[in-house]
């Protein structure tokens, strides 16, 4: 994943923290989204589907611990890395953060360059997390990346390699809109030169084999998968 594709949600009720930390992360090329309290953080996390969330603990309306617990209930954010950035370094506060589902804990104050290095390390952890997911189970459909096999309602569906990889990519983050350039990069890479029409053809075939209702076209942008609740 390229830096410009990585979304970081930065949550703090101190405006100077948002500006200083946000500026340094943006300078690295990341997309930075900000929120000033836990309630706003949960709403923006649902909407933006960030790759990394940096949370303060003590905030108005909803504190960071409760926000983390709520974010961890969102299926699309299962692999999102969450770290706390807070002046509260007591052991009980750290334990509460980990119990809520946090991946790490960074104590204030911290120099911007060191924070950026910490963020890079956390994002490497995210990459490892994503690479370990060999089997997806979404909406009753099992997608086995290792065996290139799909099982829906007890029936095995055989897909050509590129169709499988396209379906796996879209299903890995239900609700996320994958842009055409991102799809081409992740599914076809540098193997051959293909156009946007190639994606359309593969989506049409997947609709025929998996089900038309799952695949949503976002005109002029790309595609996403939405699964109905079961």
Residue 18: per-residue pLDDT = 93
Distance of alpha carbon 161 from alpha carbon 202, whole angstroms:
11
Task: Give the DSSP H/E element, type plus range, for residue 20.
Answer: helix 15-27
Q: Which two structure tokens, joined as six digits, stand for 157?
A: 């569906």
Q: Model confidence over 167-220: pLDDT tens digits?
A: 999 998 888 899 888 888 888 765 555 566 788 899 999 999 988 888 999 988
Q: What is the DSSP letter of 225?
A: E
pLDDT tens for the 230 residues of the chain, in order: 678 889 999 999 999 999 999 999 999 999 999 999 999 999 999 999 999 999 998 898 999 999 999 999 888 887 789 999 887 655 556 677 788 888 888 888 888 888 899 898 888 877 665 655 577 888 888 888 878 889 998 899 988 888 998 999 999 888 889 988 888 888 876 555 556 678 889 999 999 998 888 899 998 899 999 865 43
Nearest-5° Cα angle at 168, 1 to 211: 140
Residue 229: per-residue pLDDT = 46
Residue 148: per-residue pLDDT = 82
Nearest-5° Cα angle at 53, 80 to 79: 5
Residue 230: per-residue pLDDT = 39
Distance of alpha carbon 50 from alpha carbon 170, whole angstroms:
16
CB 51 within 8 Å of CB 123? yes
């Amino acid at each position: 994943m390229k830096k410009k594709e990585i979304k970081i949600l930065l949550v703090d009720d101190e405006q100077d923290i948002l500006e200083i930390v946000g500026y340094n992360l943006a300078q690295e090329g990341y997309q930075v989204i900000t929120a000033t309290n836990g309630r706003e953080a949960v709403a923006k996390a649902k909407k933006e589907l960030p790759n990394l969330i940096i949370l303060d603990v003590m905030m108005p309306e909803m504190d960071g611990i409760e926000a983390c617990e709520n974010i961890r209930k969102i299926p699309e954010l299962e692999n999102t890395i969450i770290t706390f950035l807070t002046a509260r370094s007591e052991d009980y506060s750290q334990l509460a953060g980990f119990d809520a589902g946090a991946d790490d804990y960074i104590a204030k104050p911290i120099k911007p360059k060191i924070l950026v290095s910490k963020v890079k390390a956390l994002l490497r952890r995210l990459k490892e997390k994503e690479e370990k997911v060999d089997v997806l189970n979404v909406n009753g459909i099992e997608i086995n990346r290792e065996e290139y096999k799909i099982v829906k309602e007890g029936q095995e569906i055989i897909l050509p390699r590129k169709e499988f990889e396209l379906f796996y990519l879209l299903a890995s983050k239900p609700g996320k809109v994958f842009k055409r350039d991102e799809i081409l990069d992740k599914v076809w890479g540098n193997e051959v030169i293909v156009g946007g029409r190639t994606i359309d053809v593969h989506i049409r075939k997947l609709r025929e084999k998996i089900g038309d209702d799952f695949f949503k076209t976002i005109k002029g942008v790309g595609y996403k998968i939405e699964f109905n609740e079961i």
